[in-house]
Structure 1
Amino acid sequence: MSATPPNSGAPTGPRRWLGLLAAVALVCGGIVYTVEQRTQDARSHPVVVRTSTPTPGTPKATKPSKIAAAVAARRIAVDTILLRRAQAVAAGNEPLFLADLDPANKKLIAAQKILFANLVEMDFGELGYSQAEERFDPAAVRAHGSTTYLVRVLMRYQIPKVDFTPVTTELGYTFIARGGRWLLTDDDDLDADLGPGAHREAWDLGRIEVQRGPRVLVVVEKGDTKRGRAIVRAAAEGLGEVTRYWPRKWAGSVFVIALDETDVRDARFADEDIESAASTGSTFSSLPGQDTADGTVAGGYIVINPNERDRVDEILLSHEITHVATADLGGYEPLWLAEGSAEYVSWRGIEAISGPAEVGKWEQEVIDEALPQLSALPTDAGFYQNSADVYGVSWLAVRYLVQRIGLGNVEDLYEDLARNGNDQAARDRILLTRTGLTEATLWSALATYRPQR
């Protein structure tokens, strides 16, 4: 996901408050400039900033341009709209949420009514919106008129008992000036220019229903109550398996999204992930590009492939919950370790149900059939497109390491790699220090591995 850093150049202290007062006065006066007027005014009225007191006879400083004043007024007006929308959700006040919509866009109004109901049902502990940077799209200007203002908006929220810290997602809003006020006239003009999964959160995709259990939150289509409750039970069992079979002490909760949608967040089951039963995508307290290039991962949400919703069980969810339980460590671990660890936990659950014979049978199949298809451990590049059983080989690698150094040490290895394994040299150094192996020698060991029965 890529994002553009928000504008952080706003003045602070008394100067900022003076600017706000001036801008509010301009909003009340109904000052609005078109795209053409902005361009002309910027050329003919440059802003001059003086840092010293002028001496007698020195020409007075040029007043701030009309365009600068109008931009400041617009920013305050839009900030006020965004604040009102967050306050409306907190208060359960639908008229306030809809008050700043373009009355001519009936489709938008209908969609925003559904969005409001969903946001209220999510019961956020924290919710806020802020402007990032302005965007420009000539097609949007042609569609909405010369006062069109497109802006990337950061939605910051926290789901109680799910998010350890507030997390951020992106939206793109289109505003127009009409009758001396700014109105939200569209919310998807910028979708194609936002990061993967933006404006594709669970609450953005039609009317939802939320089912809750201890440390579990499940979102399904409105009225899909039976399925939602069944997934809550399966998730609770999967959570118990992760607690039993993965040593990291993790007090988090699980958010499962099971909608009739093939494109939710950054899970795209209509294309490359069509065969996946589920996907765990990261949440970010700071989006990539916002403060750092990689962003700051806060956790993860599970999205179920709509074609697999009737087959969700604790085995599938224990795999995905392992990803959630490790999501905040950094994300630099190799995929063979991430997927192999998740498979290790889920197969421990299978072993508890079916006994060690079932696990031994699959282990032998991996050795006989999957290993010969590869010449090295599965690489990150192309991992999910590989036709070989990369999940099985990854599981075998983790199973081998558990036998060699113990599960607790494998978890320590995972955490070290997730935080610090940002290139191959670092990965091999960490792996060698903690296991006595590199990825290459680990592969060689697997190639000659003969498990004891």
Structure 2
Amino acid sequence: MSATTPNTGPRRWLGLLLAVALVSGGVVYTVEQREQDARERVTASRTTPPPPKATRPSRVAAAVAARRVAVDTILLRRAKAVQLGNEQLFLADVDPANKKLVAAQKVLFANLVEIGFGEIGYSQAEERFNPAVLKAHGSTTYLVRVLMRYQIPKVDFTPVTTELGYTFVARGGHWLLTADNELDSDLGPGAHREAWDLGRIEVQRAPRVMVIVEKGDTKRGRSIVREANEGLAEVTRYWPLKWAGAVLVIALDETEVRDARFADEDIESAASTGSTFSSLPGQDTADGTVAGGYVVINPNERDRVDEILLSHELTHVATAALGGYEPLWLAEGAAEYVSWSGIEAISGPGEVGKWEQEVIDDALPQLTALPTDAGFYENSADVYGVSWLAVRYLVQRVGLAAVEQLYTDEAMNGTDQAARDRILLSRTGLTEATLWTSLATYRPQR
């Protein structure tokens, strides 16, 4: 054997045997130690209670958690799809078997993209249960209230919230949106009745105005934009509140949009301003947190929209975020004050003086006090005229700036009648009762 030949003889086998012996000794020691530990545990168990067993989530709880994650993922995907303008991604989790829903979701997606949200997101609120819905879709049905949080650039000062109801089902290991209207009757006023929910829309814009009309109704949309610009100028001119906001006007052929409800034959109410909420009523507080307002035009009045009508509604929009606790006579009176100031600028004081006298002669005798919030809009008397006269009287008594400060204070703090009277008295020297007495004996100077 040469000196360079590897040593593969008995010395190598000796090394292997030593290794086996060491390992075997270790195994034996471990077994003996475990037996000793077991004897010690038995002894200890006779004197101390066993530790509680670790609790594991039930299969049901685990399935609920997995479902929530899956639906959250779907909602995130839908919001991302709108931001990216990706229709395929938006429809990826819509039940392909529901052809009607797929078609409606395509329209919804196009509307959302056309509006151009600066921010949009969806989140689960709480699960709802409906036996009929469960029966219709099967045992995997998940009916959930969803909060849609969004912000329209140059319209919403802060993100606002609306609500939806979604029905999901599990198929082939995946959750799919199979309906979006089965919870509508259990949601708040106007839920799932936003402008983008009601058929294909078109948006017309100006720097401080956004108008939504039906797709193809371009001429009307542009006309309303012009009138809204004039209305904004009048609010700026005749109401001293510093407000640099913008306005959304919805003029669709729909009798129910948001929380505005116009009967088909209703020609009395030409428009309505509904609140937007950064926090919905009942979400964080009972009243919610008002963020602003959108104007909805009665479909029967769309051809008669002018700056006078819009200046009234835009006054409501300008004051919406103050709080909303002001009495309706003050809210509507202030809006009428702005619009009639515009009329006076165009027609002169004669037209305004004529209406003022009609209110004194015809409307005041039909009431015994300032119009109350309860039944205000159902009152057959000219409550708008009386409210305007009250604000006009206060402007003459204390000045427009003081009336605007009164409005702001009432809107923020007039949570009950005692608070309203206290604020009115401190700022004008009158309560609602003495204001009414003053109106009853009011004789305007001509």
Does the alignment reach a TM-score above 0.5?
yes
Q: Residue in 2 aligned with 1:252?
A: 245
1:70 aligns with 2:63: yes
Q: Supply the RMSD in Å over aligned alpha carbons.
A: 1.1
Which fold has the larger relative contact order, with Cα–Cα distance below 8 Å and residues 6 or more apart in sequence?
A: 1
Which amino acid in the other structure matches residue 337 of structure 1?
Answer: L
The total of aligned residue pairs comes to: 399
SS of the residue aligned with 1:82?
Answer: helix
* Equivalent position SS for 1:163: coil
1:450 aligns with 2:443: yes
Matching residue of 2:10: none
CA contact (8 A) 2:264 2:300 kept: no
* Structure 2 contact 267–300 (Cα < 8 Å) conserved: no
**2:363–2:382 Cα contact (<8 Å) kept:** yes
Contact in 2 for aligned 1:272/1:385 (Cα 8 Å): no
- After TM superposition, the structure 1 = structure 2 runs for residues 148-187 of structure 1, keeping only pairs within 5 Å, are 148-187=141-180
Q: Give the Cα–Cα distance (whole angstroms) in 2 for the partners of residues 307 and 150 of structure 1.
A: 36
Aligned to 2:19: none
Determine which of 203, 218, 224 is the counterpart of 1:225: 218
Measured at CA, do residues 190 and 273 of structure 1 come closer, stay the same or move farther in structure 2, by a change above 3 Å?
farther
Three-state SS of the structure 2 residue aligned to 1:198 is coil
* Matching residue of 1:22: none
Q: Deviation at 1:272? A: 11
Q: Secondary structure at the match of 2:321?
A: helix
Of 337-346 and 272-281, deviating more is 272-281
Aligned pairs for 1:98-117 (under 5 A) are 98-117=91-110
Selected match of 2:257 from 264, 269, 276: 264
The 1-side partners of 2:55 and 2:117 are apart by: 47
Q: Which 4+ stretches in 1 moved above 6 angstroms?
A: none
| TM-superposition CA deviations, 1:373-405 (whole Å, max 9, x none) | 000000000000000000000000000000000
Is residue 208 from structure 1 mapped to residue 201 from structure 2 by the alignment? Answer: yes
349, 353, 358: which is aligned to 2:351?
A: 358
Mapped contact 2:201–2:212 kept (Cα < 8 A): yes
Q: Say whether residues 1:194 and 2:187 are aligned partners.
A: yes
Post-superposition offset of 1:320: 0.1
Which amino acid in structure 2 is aligned with residue 332 of structure 1? Y
Distance in structure 2 (CA, Å) of the matches to 1:272 and 1:227: 21
2:72–2:123 contact (8 Å) kept in structure 1:
yes
1:441 is aligned with what amino acid? T
Give the residue type in structure 2 aligned to 1:58: P
Q: What corresponds to 2:337 in structure 1? A: 344
**1:214–1:236 Cα contact (<8 Å) kept:** no
- Hey, what's the Cα distance between the residues in 2 that align with 1:451 and 1:57? 92
Percent identity of paired positions between Structure 1 and Structure 2: 86
**2:280 alignment counterpart:** 287
Q: Is the 8 A contact 1:147 1:176 kept in 2?
A: yes
Seen in structure 2, the aligned counterparts of structure 1 residues 88 and 414 have a Cα distance that, compared at 3 Å, is same
1:327 to 2:328 alignment: no
How far does residue 214 in structure 1 lie from its aligned partner after superposition? 1.7
Q: 1:146 and 1:294 mapped to 2: Cα distance?
A: 36
User: Which whole-Å CA distance do the structure 2 matches of 1:273 and 1:348 have between them?
Assistant: 27
Aligned 8 A contact 1:242 1:322 in 2? yes
Match of 1:9 in 2: none
Alignment TM-score, normalising by the size of structure 2: 0.88
Whether the aligned pair in 1 keeps the contact of 2:76 and 2:122 (CA below 8 Å) is yes
**SS in structure 1 opposite 2:175?**
strand
Aligned to 1:112, the other structure's residue is in SS state helix
Structure 1 residue 274, shift from structure 2 partner:
5.7
Unaligned runs of 5+ in 2: 1-47
Correspondence for 1:406? 399
Distance 1:99 1:208 in 2: 23
